[in-house]
Amino acid sequence: MPTIMVEGPKIDVEKKRQLVKKLTEAAVEVYGIEHIIVIIRENPPENVGISGELLADRKRNEDKTSG
């Protein structure tokens, strides 16, 4: 009864539907077990840090640079 947890950004319900379908297919193929649980977590960009910087700040800086 494998369980898959996904930490990602906010996505709409249609993307969640696709994500669950595709991840489950992948897991069923590899494990040979039909019963797969997927939990999707949507993290706001101010709650994620990459290389020491908040994702929220990073985006703001990139916008400035490209603006």
Residue 11 makes contact with a copy of itself by CB under 8 A: yes
Residue 61 makes contact with a copy of itself by CB under 8 A: no
Residue 8 backbone class (left: φ over 0; alpha: ψ -120 to 50; beta: rest): beta
Residue 24 makes contact with a copy of itself by CB under 8 A: yes
**Shortest CB 58 distance to a copy of itself, Å:** 11
Which residues contribute to the site for a copy of itself (CB under 8 A)? 1-9, 11, 13, 15-31, 33-43, 46-54, 56-57
